[in-house]
Every structure is written in structure tokens, then in C-alpha cells.
Amino acid sequence: MKFRKNALACASVLALGAGVAQADPVTVGLITTLSGGGAGLGVDVRDAFELALQMAGSDAIHLVVEDDGQRPENAVQIADRMIQSEGAQILTGIIWSNLAMAVVPAVTAQDVIYVSPNAGPSALAGAGCTPNYFNAAYQNDTMHEAAGQYANTLGYQNAFIMAPNYPAGVDALTGFKRYFQGTLAGEVYTQLGQTDFAAEIAQIRASGADSIFIFEPGGMGISFMRQYAQSGVDLPIISAAFTFSQDVLPAVGDAALGVINTAEWSPDMDNEANVAFVAAFQEAYGRLPSVYAAQSFDTANLILSALAAADISDLEAFRTAMRAADFDSVRGSFRFGNNQHPIQNYYAREVVSVDGVLTNRIVGTAFEDHQDVYAADCAME
């Protein structure tokens, strides 16, 4: 039975191959989270990637999408299957750092290219960097470094800082502290998936802080902000984009208004690529794109630009074309550092309401041409 299925698949692949003889599309496997609590992020990544292919009108990519359910073991299996039975030569799509760590080293060791549209764990940016891994989003620490830097700009002296107790949460607080020059009124690790923040809010109330830095992505941030709004504590909040991205803003509601959050992109950025992207995304899906969507859109265009310049069968040439990053990024300027992570600007955004829809607007710049600290440990030139 299995043999027959395989034989059939082979036959259909052959038939397909005969049909498009001139340039076979390269199979790109998109592994992302489409079910469970984190599905909103993955849906944005998938939708933006498909939109980019559609807008480019290119048939250079054959896209295969699969749901990892936010489980590392699923992601590993899907990656194996995509490479072995679907012949994927490029993989992308993973949202979460723990899933990326499970998939990326194994995949890149097989000379398959992995392009990250979101996760940027430090282990892959420093000594663990590899020529087959490209990060088209950010290195995890940098978003929070930008928040620390901008907290100085805003004159905050005494911050209460908080993140979930898992590697990305530790990276977040480390990143913030690396640039923040004031003192800490408190440093709290919450539980991953925590839904009730009353105990932490009571501590904030008693701490004497003049500001709060939080990294609570997804549902945790929604819960925290809704409870914070009811608590009567009224300190300014600064954060990285994840906690105040377009995917969660409608659920947080007006409690998010005025919050400063840092990111390398914002829907109001006034460059040609971004204006076209935001308009097309709204037209196609009836909602504003999130930062995850923007990163995924760039990832797709980056891959397309490299495929146009080089044949992937010559891996060395293809990697060189990827490193050139010759595409119109929705972030304006975009280039890779030696560790194949971006060197880019980081902006401070404020949550505002435009025609009744909550969104982000750029209010300042935290860093220009900022590179992650781990790049120095990467052996690549």
C-alpha cells in the first residue's frame, strides 16, 4: 500500500516535471503554528508569505504549509518529512525559539537553507551560527535592548521589569538591562502561560517604580494589560513589539493606548514597499498586518530575490545571493551582518487609535543600524 502510494507520488512528480521543463519551482516548506493559542501569529506568517508570492507573480516557489501546533517534536517531524518526501530545499515559518532550536541545527546540517521569519535565539547567532541559516527578522535580545535604550531617552530612572520564566524571557530581561541605565525597582519572572497577574501587579504597586518593562507575548500580555487597567496602578509601560503587536491589540483594547513598544517595523512606515504591503494585506485579509506578517513578507521577498539571482543547485552561489539581501524590505533598509542576522534600525512605537482601530505609530528611533552582541562570537566573515 505504502509502496503504491510512493509510486503514485513519483509518477505525478515526473508528470509535473515534464510539464514545466524550463524552470522547476523550488519547494519551500513553511512550518508554523496554525492551531492552539499561538495560532494568530502563524496565520499572519502564512498569509503574508502567500501574499508576497502572489504580489510578485512569481512561480519560482512551490509552497508547502504545515501546522506545528507549537510543539517542537511536531516541527522536527514535519521538517524531516518536507525535506525527504517533498524535496524541500528551503524551510521557514517557525515562530517560537524553542521550536527553532529543535529544527534549525538538524536542517542546516543537511544543506537545507533555513530562513527565520521570527525566532532569533542567541545560540544560533553567536558561536552556533551556520552558513545555511539566515534570520530575516531580528536576534531575540535586540528588540528588548531597544526598549532599554528608549527607556533612557524617556528619562525613566527606576523600572520594574517582568518576563516569563523561559529562555526567551531571560533573554528579554538581559537585553533590556544591557542598555537601561537606571535602577531596577523589581525583577520578576512569571510562569509561562500564566493568566492571573494580580500578585505581580500588587508588587508593582508597592515597588515605588517610575516605569514598567514587560515582555509577555500572546495571551499573557492580553491578560496582564486587562488586569493592569483595572488595578488603579498608572505607571508608564515600555515593551518590545511582541506584547503590543497587531495580533493582540484588538483583544487588549483601550488599555493598550499610549504604551511604547519597540520594533524594527511599524505599519505606518512610509516607504514604497511597506505602503503597498499594508494596503494589499488589508485588502486581502481585512485586517492590519502584525510585525510577524511584515517579517514573513520580507522573508518571502528575500528568498525570491536570491532565487532570481542564483540557482539553488549551486548552494554557494545561492547563499551569496541571500547574503546580498537585494530586495525592497518593508523596513526600508535591511542588510545582513556576518552572522546572517539583520543590521537594522529599531523604532519606538506608540499604541494609538486610528478610526477606532488600535495600531502602532512610530514616535522615535531607539537604534540606528543596530547589530546583536552575539555576532562577535560568530566565526563567519
Partner 1 sequence: MTAALLFEQFLNGLQFGLMLFLMSAGLTLVFGVMGLINLAHGSLFMIGAFFCAAAAGLTGNFWLGLAAGMAAAAAAGALIEVTVMRRLYTRDHLDQVLATFALILILSEGTKILFGPFPLYLDVPPLLTGTVDLGLTPYPLYRLALIVAGIGVALGLWLLIGRTRLGIRIRAGENDREMIAALGVNIRALYTVVFALGAALAGLAGALVGAVQSVQVGMGEPVLILAFVVIVIGGIGSIRGAMVGALLVGVIDTMGRFLLPQVFALFLDPSKASGAGAALASILVYLLMALILVIRPKGLFPVHA
Q: Collect all residues with Cβ–Cβ distance below 8 Å to 366 and sequence separation of at least 6.
A: 146, 147, 149, 150, 153, 262, 346, 347, 348
Is residue 314 close enough to count as binding partner 1 by CB under 8 A?
Answer: no
Residue 16 is a binding residue for partner 1 (CB under 8 A): no
Closest CA to 95 of 129, 138, 54: 138
Per the DSSP assignment, residues forming a β-bridge with 116 are 135
The stretch among 123-131, 200-208, 297-305, 368-376 that binds partner 1 (CB under 8 A) is: 200-208
Q: Does 206 sit near partner 1 (CB under 8 A)?
A: yes
Nearer to partner 1 by Cβ, of 182 and 219: the residue is 219
Dist. CA 157–CA 155, nearest whole Å:
6
Where in 109-168 is the site for partner 1 (CB under 8 A)? 165
Backbone angles phi and psi of 25, in degrees to 5: -65, 145
Is 62 a residue that touches partner 1 (CB under 8 A)?
A: no
Least distance CB 240 / partner 1 (angstroms)? 18
Residue in this structure with the C-alpha cell 507575548, named with its chain if needed: 217
Q: How far is CA 154 from the centre of its chain?
A: 26
Site for partner 1 in 208-267 (CB under 8 A): 218-223, 226-227, 230-232, 247-248, 250-253
Considering only residues 24, 86, 187, 326, which one is a binding residue for partner 1 as defined by CB under 8 A? Answer: 187
Q: Do residues 45 and 99 make contact, with C-beta atoms less than 8 angstroms apart?
A: no
Which stretch, 8-16, 17-25, 35-43, 97-105, contacts partner 1 (CB under 8 A)?
A: 35-43
- Tell me the closest approach of the beta carbon of residue 20 to partner 1, in angstroms: 34
Amino acid in position 172: A
Q: Candidates 184-192, 317-325, 348-356, 369-377 — which segment interacts with partner 1 by CB under 8 A?
A: 184-192
From candidates 50, 145, 200, 350, binder to partner 1 by CB under 8 A: 200
CB nearer to partner 1: give 226 or 323: 226
Distances (CA, A) of 42 to 94, 233, 276, 380: 8, 33, 22, 31
Alpha-carbon gap, residue 346 to 46, rounded angstroms:
24
Task: Identify which range of 130-138, 196-204, 326-334, 371-379 contacts partner 1 by CB under 8 A.
Answer: 196-204
Binding residue (CB under 8 A) for partner 1 from 64, 101, 106, 170: 170
Of 36, 208, 258, 364, the residue at the interface with partner 1 (CB under 8 A) is: 36
Cell, residue 196: 492571573
Phi, psi for residue 82 in degrees, rounded to 5: -65, -40
Please report how close the Cβ of residue 186 comes to partner 1 at its closest, in angstroms: 8
Query: Which of 60, 123, 188, 315 is close enough to bind partner 1 by CB under 8 A?
Result: 188
Nearest of 172, 150, 176, 155 to residue 163 by alpha carbon:
172
Q: What minimum distance in Å lies between the beta carbon of 182 and partner 1?
A: 15
User: How many CB atoms are located within 10 Å of the residue 39 CB?
Assistant: 17
The SS3 assignment for 366 reads strand
| 35 touching partner 1, by CB under 8 A | yes
What contacts 113, CB < 8 A, 6 or more positions away? 89, 90, 91, 132, 133, 134, 312, 315, 318, 319, 322
CA-closest candidate to residue 104, choices 307, 51, 83: 83
Point out which residues bind partner 1 (CB under 8 A): 34-37, 39-40, 42-43, 165, 170, 173, 184, 187-191, 193, 195-196, 198-200, 202-203, 205-206, 218-223, 226-227, 230-232, 247-248, 250-253
